Structure 1
Amino acid sequence: MNHGKCVWIVRCVLLAGLLCLNACAMVGVSRIKLHESVNERRGDVIGTGRLSDRSVQSLNVVALNADDCERAFDACVETVLHSSGLTDEQRLSALSELWLARAIRSDRSKIDAEMSDQTLDAFLQAGRYAYAYLFYTKRQPSERSFELRQVQVIGFYNFSVQRVVTRFFQELPHLDKQWTQTQLAGWTVMRPEAGPKSVESTAEPTEPVELLSASTLRFNGLRNVYRRDGFGSEFVAVAPPDKPDNDVPWREPDYASMTGALLFDGTTLNDVLATRQVRVLVRDPYRDDSVTVAGREVPLAANFTAAYGVWLARSGFASQSIRSLLGREGGIKTPRVFLMQPYDPNRMTVIMLHGLASSPEAWINVSNEVMGDAELRRNYQVWEIYYPTNAPIAVNLANIRKALDTTFRHFDPSGKARASNNVVLIGHSMGGVIARLLVSSSGDRLWSVIPTRADLSPAKKARLRERLSPYLQFTPMPQVTRAVFLASPQRGTPYAQHTLARWFGNLIRLPANVIKEVASVSDLIKGDSESSTPMRIPNSIDNLSDKDPFIMAAADLPMSPAVRYHTIVGVYTPPGPLIDSSDGVVPYRSAHLDGAESELAIPSWHSVQETPAAILELRRILRLHTAAHSTAVSWSSEKSPSRNVAATANSWLPTN
């Protein structure tokens, strides 16, 4: 082969090599599905277990990758912290996620187990860098409101808060009651300064016995979970149960919503990055929509469903309500007034009464929807009445009225608070009958239901009247100005006389106090003859019959002219005239009330209160009531004798 040909071959080989090198350096492109693209951009160490794209990019800028940082974490953090190639926002957000990834990897504990100091330190570091990003970089949080990165960093912060506050709660039993600061994992945890409270308690505060992270709870049976996104992590604070000798009719919530946050000392970015001092902040989200942090007012995170859901899940109402109906051991004997939130003198009160064989569980979604509606939540607090449904209506009416009067006097002795005026009553089924009687005047119309002998002496007649007056003579509750009756048999129902209902009614045992009262009344009625037949008192199922003397006499009692009222009825029977319809238990003719401000018929079985249409109607009515009685809400300094869980939580983490 001659020299020229060899040179030509060498040149061709070199040219081919250069072309291959250029081909390898070219950029390729492929397409992925849109949802995969969104998942990649939104993914981070919390959701996927891997660093987010933004943190990976920041590491690439300083010639690092995720594997490098996992192998040599301290060196990686130092490089990211001091490299000049990153902005403060890139640096701080990446450091927050790196520390959070380290904390999650080392957090091998289960939900309630105690975490190690190393893990606690990592969560605090992650929270501090996120805190610095949010409040100590050049741009205001509002300037990044549309940026996904800020949403991710808020998530890093709130996740860290959740784990730190949980760990701190586990430390509380080891601290002195008067503690001001304590050392944990090389950090100084400062006790927040106690500030003025909107509602003060005269009772001794008690420490919660349990703290549940709301984000880890899932509920069956609740249609919606209502939250408010914002700063901090949501919890449920669990107070010790009431003492067995606590015979007052009201029950304040043993489960309360709480939001926790971490505040890191310092007034500049360098101060915050150097500090090892942190304060734990606690807020009641029902009273605080926002919180001031580093001179900026930011929205406060909240969960308005979790505490309610835990209360219902642990209540045991389902079986207890049946025991109460049958008069068996373990049932309740007197009405109770359950406050769904800590008492607030500046919110109007909604009182809910369940029906036969039921309990507060009848209002599962109704209460949740009221508390979940921001406008209604600002203006109302919910009380739920729980009463023994085996007792006659007249007995429950008197006892519920007494329980409510006592509760109002306890929380508002002057009766001038917004909570004690323009009250709304909501009753379902038998609870609706009782609710109507709570706003009605009896006069002397109900005495005809008591069979008395013509030969009774004047003295016995006077004693009989004195004994029965609490049950047969009443006036409207002055606090109530609106009522809603749902599927309520105001004129009774023929179904109470059906064979199955009568068989079930025969299983009911009346409360012992009612039997005793009946025996004494029966003795008075007998007159001088000892051969008279003992008096039989009807139970609750008897009372609901359209042939029952009490329900017939009470049907036309006049309601207070100060009360506006509404009806919601179910229509379950086949299509036809509304007047002939029924919800399967209560005929329309019985549930209908002349003079109602509104009436809504909903295709539904008897449990109409749980239908979305009924809940929407209740929300409409409550908004209407708010508009009619709107006043500026300002937190009162009036002392209220309240043992609420917000105050309970503040006994170990007081608010600023």
Structure 2
Amino acid sequence: MKRRTPTGILRVVVLATGLLASACSMVGIKQITPKQYAAQRRSDVLSTRTLSDSTLQTLNVVALSRDDCAANFPRCTHTLLYSDGLDDERRLSALSELWLAYGLQQSDKGKVLSDAALDDYLQSARYAYAYLFYTHRQPGERAFETRQSQVLDFYNYAVQRAVGGFFQRLPQLGTNWTSVPVAGWNVFKPSTDVYLGSGDYVPKELLPAEGLRFSGLRNIYRRDGFGSEFVAVGAVPADTGQPWREPYYVPLTAVLEFPGDSLAQVLDTSDVHLSAKNPYLENSIQLDGQSIPLAANFTAPYGVWLARSGFAQQSIRSLLGRGGLTKPEVLLMQPYDPNRLTVIMLHGLASSPEAWINVVNEVMGDQQLRRTYQVWEVYYPTNVPVAVNLAQIRRALDDTLHHFDPSGKAVASNHIVLIGHSMGGVIARLLVSSSGDKLWGVVPERQGLSEADKQRLRQRLAPYLQFSPMPQVTRAVFLAAPHRGTPVARWKLARWIGGLIRLPLTLLEEGKNITDAMQGKNTAPGTPARLPNSIDNLSDTDPFIRASSTLPISPAVHYHTIVGTYKSKGPLTDSDDGVVPYASSHLDGADSELAVPSWHDVQETPQAIIELRRILRVHAAALHCLQSENGPSTPCPAPLSTP
């Protein structure tokens, strides 16, 4: 038998190995975890700073790799743009992500966006724009595809960075320009309907909303869609002596358009049209003959405003009379809209608009309510007597309504909803009540006053003791309001705090004039009457609060109560919220009453907010003007005649 040589044995082994290999499968299979599945489907340059699986597969088709693109980016993008074997959707979506990745690398090098980085973001936005509107399928045909969602994110983020780069250059451009060359592009002057108050349409600051996070707000309300979301910050309004304050923190949605009638024209253009949209006024935008949902963030402007307001410190200083607010202000939460119903909110003692943090956010976050209502907040000094605040707030509201709607015929000026918490609830109830002559009994009588002296006294006191309901208000909600006062105001601590309160000098002077009028010309000077402050007024033994609690509410007003039951061991009638007894906050004849297991700040509870939203829907439905987000923007009917 012939012995095999080592070479022969090697050949046999190689042949056997080849035969075995040909009998084995070349494709393996394994299960992946849900986390790996999500990463494979959704990871991209924005979420993980690595290219998406779709883009990597597209590079493989044209014999490119991630490393090839990193080593020679111009060659990589040129190959993608002109190689056969790719349809337009794969080509354009991959180019958008690659340019975005390149821009992120460039912009990481400094705070000021360079021309090179700005060009990268514009290239990314243009390829995404071309993918969305100039390929053979419409966006609606790809509605369930992950890739379209990714490309929309590429576009929105690229727009955010590009618009930020434009805004950095804006001070150098002035106002007298139509278009200007920037980073190799021809940028046209923005068209905008974003109003910042005081006739201003140019922000002083532009904050990307996507990167903002807030503490103290339960929810962030935004709308997914096309465009990049910003907070536009205007100049701090000058103190003109007027009681109203228009918003200077407003939402803005930026959109970049690349003109052209075909894909080739869009990819060839160097023109960029920027639009700044007010998402309160528009919920869609017309592009390529299609109605496209417009992205929006409704919480971010409100959150930035509150975070920068300093209300917490101001409210304490104001309560003690040591600076801060000295007269009521009407703060508009959105630019005035004559075709939206108005909700007016009044905070309580030692408080501020911060009392409504989540209430306002939840109302503005509700699609139907946002389309139907606008919110005003009354910010007022809480140290002065209730009667004085009542008169000054009424004057401020009347002046504000007349300023924005001199004829009084707008939807915004009629069927107003008034919402008050704690002392704000007491004031709100008096704003819809009739005093008649019932409050004159709180004025101590002085013997020997002549008829002329009595007349002068009545003239002095009439603004505070004689009033009629606001005719514009047809619904009110009172939350934890001490309509009949509270024994807490008589506690030692409350009296001590009340002793620290300083009343405004103008009020003290008015008090002296009233005291003089009470004494009369022919009466020997007596001890000047002490003016009560707000804490005095909230006592259940205070003459003013006892007399005003009996005043009738206008029959034209539907009203509701929300009460806290922090301490409730027996019947509801024996409960309280830790500050206000149920017997004081309850009102007979209310359309509804909700008791919430809560401390005095019941307005912040989810149950109270849900109830407020229900009441606002009931109110709008009764007027046949509840509008949906995508429904017609038909205004409410003309003002109804009041009973």
Q: Structure 2: 5+ residue runs without aligned partners?
A: 636-643
| Equivalent in the alignment of 2:218 | 223
Q: Is 2:326 the partner of 1:333?
A: yes
Match of 1:319 among 310, 313, 319: 313
Q: Is 2:502 the partner of 1:509?
A: yes
| Equivalent in the alignment of 1:69 | 69
| Equivalent in the alignment of 2:13 | 13
AA at the equivalent of 1:150: Q
- Structure 1's 23 and 102: CA in aligned 2 closer, same or farther, altered over 3 A? farther
Q: CA deviation at 1:200?
A: 12
Q: CA deviation at 1:242?
A: 1.3
Q: CA deviation at 1:448?
A: 0.6
| Equivalent in the alignment of 1:361 | 354
Q: CA deviation at 1:117?
A: 0.6
TM-score, scaled to structure 2: 0.95
SS for the counterpart of 2:439 is: helix
AA at the equivalent of 2:530: R
| Equivalent in the alignment of 1:644 | none
Match of 2:540 among 525, 542, 546: 546
- Structure 1's 347 and 522: CA in aligned 2 closer, same or farther, altered over 3 A? same
SS for the counterpart of 2:390 is: helix
| Equivalent in the alignment of 1:184 | 182
What is the rounded CA distance, in whole Å, between the counterparts of 1:272 and 1:471 in structure 2? Answer: 67
| Equivalent in the alignment of 2:298 | 304
Q: CA deviation at 1:198?
A: 11
Deviations 1:391-432 (A, max 9, x none): 000000000000000000000000000000000000000000
Q: CA deviation at 1:108?
A: 1.8
AA at the equivalent of 1:232: G
AA at the equivalent of 1:262: L
1:100-179 aligned within 5 A: 100-108=100-108, 113-179=111-177
Q: CA deviation at 1:3?
A: 6.2
SS for the counterpart of 1:445 is: coil
Q: CA deviation at 1:6?
A: 7.5
AA at the equivalent of 1:572: Y
Contact 1:370 1:376 in 2 (8 A): yes
What is the rounded CA distance, in whole Å, between the counterparts of 1:482 and 1:336 in structure 2? Answer: 22
Q: CA deviation at 1:21?
A: 4.8
What is the rounded CA distance, in whole Å, between the counterparts of 1:171 and 1:62 in structure 2? Answer: 39
AA at the equivalent of 1:224: N
Moved over 6 A (4+): 3-8, 197-201
Q: CA deviation at 1:2?
A: 2.1
Q: Is 2:554 the partner of 1:556?
A: no
Deviates more, 1:169-178 or 1:556-565: 169-178
Q: Is 2:439 the partner of 1:438?
A: no
What is the rounded CA distance, in whole Å, between the counterparts of 1:24 and 1:328 in structure 2? Answer: 87
What is the rounded CA distance, in whole Å, between the counterparts of 1:204 and 1:567 in structure 2? Answer: 39
Deviations 1:500-544 (A, max 9, x none): 111111001111111111000101112333342211111000000
Match of 2:448 among 455, 468, 479: 455
- Structure 1's 32 and 551: CA in aligned 2 closer, same or farther, altered over 3 A? same
What is the rounded CA distance, in whole Å, between the counterparts of 2:490 and 2:285 in structure 1? Answer: 59
Q: Is 2:288 the partner of 1:290?
A: no
Contact 1:198 1:635 in 2 (8 A): no
Q: CA deviation at 1:35?
A: 2.0
| Equivalent in the alignment of 2:638 | none
AA at the equivalent of 2:176: Q
Deviations 1:481-518 (A, max 9, x none): 00000000000001100111111110011111111110
TM-score, scaled to structure 1: 0.93
Deviates more, 1:427-436 or 1:508-517: 508-517
Q: CA deviation at 1:121?
A: 0.4
Q: Is 2:378 the partner of 1:378?
A: no
What is the rounded CA distance, in whole Å, between the counterparts of 1:5 and 1:360 in structure 2? Answer: 97
What is the rounded CA distance, in whole Å, between the counterparts of 1:40 and 1:6 in structure 2? Answer: 49
Contact 1:124 1:160 in 2 (8 A): yes
Root-mean-square deviation (CA, aligned residues, Å) is 1.8
| Equivalent in the alignment of 2:641 | none
SS for the counterpart of 2:80 is: helix
What is the rounded CA distance, in whole Å, between the counterparts of 1:16 and 1:177 in structure 2? Answer: 82
Contact 1:288 1:300 in 2 (8 A): yes
AA at the equivalent of 2:82: H
Match of 2:579 among 585, 599, 605: 585
Q: CA deviation at 1:193?
A: 5.3
Contact 1:290 1:300 in 2 (8 A): yes
- Structure 1's 599 and 204: CA in aligned 2 closer, same or farther, altered over 3 A? closer
What is the rounded CA distance, in whole Å, between the counterparts of 2:196 and 2:209 in structure 1? Answer: 26
AA at the equivalent of 2:468: T
Contact 2:420 2:428 in 1 (8 A): yes
The size of the alignment, in residue pairs, is 629
| Equivalent in the alignment of 2:594 | 600
Contact 2:195 2:201 in 1 (8 A): no
SS for the counterpart of 2:35 is: helix
SS for the counterpart of 2:286 is: strand
| Equivalent in the alignment of 2:263 | 269
Q: Is 2:233 the partner of 1:235?
A: no
Q: Structure 1: 5+ residue runs without aligned partners?
A: 637-656
Deviations 1:278-302 (A, max 9, x none): 1111100000000001211100000
| Equivalent in the alignment of 2:639 | none
What is the rounded CA distance, in whole Å, between the counterparts of 1:562 and 1:37 in structure 2? Answer: 60
Match of 1:210 among 200, 205, 211: 205
Deviations 1:159-204 (A, max 9, x none): 000001111011111113121000111000012457xx79999x64
What is the rounded CA distance, in whole Å, between the counterparts of 1:43 and 1:341 in structure 2? Answer: 37
Contact 2:448 2:523 in 1 (8 A): no
AA at the equivalent of 2:555: P
What is the rounded CA distance, in whole Å, between the counterparts of 1:161 and 1:186 in structure 2? Answer: 16
Contact 2:196 2:234 in 1 (8 A): no
| Equivalent in the alignment of 1:651 | none
What is the rounded CA distance, in whole Å, between the counterparts of 1:597 and 1:204 in structure 2? Answer: 42
SS for the counterpart of 1:191 is: strand
Contact 2:196 2:249 in 1 (8 A): no
What is the rounded CA distance, in whole Å, between the counterparts of 1:629 and 1:470 in structure 2? Answer: 33
What is the rounded CA distance, in whole Å, between the counterparts of 1:19 and 1:311 in structure 2? Answer: 75
AA at the equivalent of 1:251: R
Contact 1:199 1:344 in 2 (8 A): no
| Equivalent in the alignment of 1:78 | 78
Q: CA deviation at 1:15?
A: 2.0
What is the rounded CA distance, in whole Å, between the counterparts of 2:402 and 2:354 in structure 1? Answer: 27
Deviations 1:596-639 (A, max 9, x none): 00000000000000000000000000000110112487589xxx
1:54-65 aligned within 5 A: 54-65=54-65
AA at the equivalent of 1:475: S
- Structure 1's 322 and 278: CA in aligned 2 closer, same or farther, altered over 3 A? same
Q: CA deviation at 1:39?
A: 1.9
What is the rounded CA distance, in whole Å, between the counterparts of 1:333 and 1:232 in structure 2? Answer: 42
Deviations 1:582-608 (A, max 9, x none): 000000000000000000000000000
Contact 2:191 2:276 in 1 (8 A): no
Contact 2:231 2:251 in 1 (8 A): yes
Q: Percent identity?
A: 61
| Equivalent in the alignment of 1:649 | none
Q: CA deviation at 1:91?
A: 0.3
